[in-house]
Chain A
Amino acid sequence: MRLPSKRIIACLDVKDGRVVKGVRFEGHVDAGDPVDLALRYRDEGADEIVIYDIAASVERRTIDYQWLARVARALDVPLCVAGGIRTIEQGVACLEHGADKVSINSPALERPEFIDEFADVAGSQCVVVGIDSRAAGGEWRTYQYTGDAATIRRTPRKTLEWIAEAQQRGAGEIVLNCMDRDGTRDGFDVEQLAAARKVLTIPLVASGGAGSAQHFSEVFAGADVSGALAASIFHFQRVSVAEVKAAVADAGFEVRT
Chain B
Amino acid sequence: MNVAVVRLGVGNTASVMFALERLGARAVLTDDPARVAEAERVILPGVGAAAHAMRLLAAKQLAPVLRAFARPLLGICLGQQLLFESSDEGDAEALGLIPGRVKRLPASASAPTPHMGWTRVEPVRENALLEGVGARDYAYFVHSFVCPESDATIATASYGARFPAMVAVGNAFGCQFHPERSGAAGARILRNFLSLPC
List chain A positions with a Cβ less than 8 A from chain B.
3-7, 42, 47, 69, 72-73, 76-79, 92, 95-100, 121-126, 172-173, 200-204, 224, 226-227, 256
Contact = CB atoms under 8 A, between A and B. Distances in A.
B112 A76 contact: no
Contact of A173 (B111, B116, B118, B186): B116
B30 interface: no
B11 interface: yes
Q: Is the interface of A mostly helix, strand, loop or mixed?
A: loop
A69 B15 CA distance: 9
Given A256-B118, A256-B138, A123 B11 contact: yes
Given A47-B140, A95-B13, A96-B14, 9 more contacts: A3-B158, A4-B110, A69-B14, A78-B178, A95-B11, A99-B14, A121-B48, A123-B48, A256-B138
Interface of B: 9-15, 18-19, 21-22, 47-49, 107, 110-119, 138, 140, 142-144, 158-159, 178, 180-184, 186-187
A98 B14 contact: yes
Contacts of B116: 125, 172-173, 203, 226
Contacts of A79: 15, 181
A218 to B, nearest CB: 18
Contacts of A78: 140, 142, 178, 181
A92 B22 CA distance: 23
Contacts of B48: 121-123
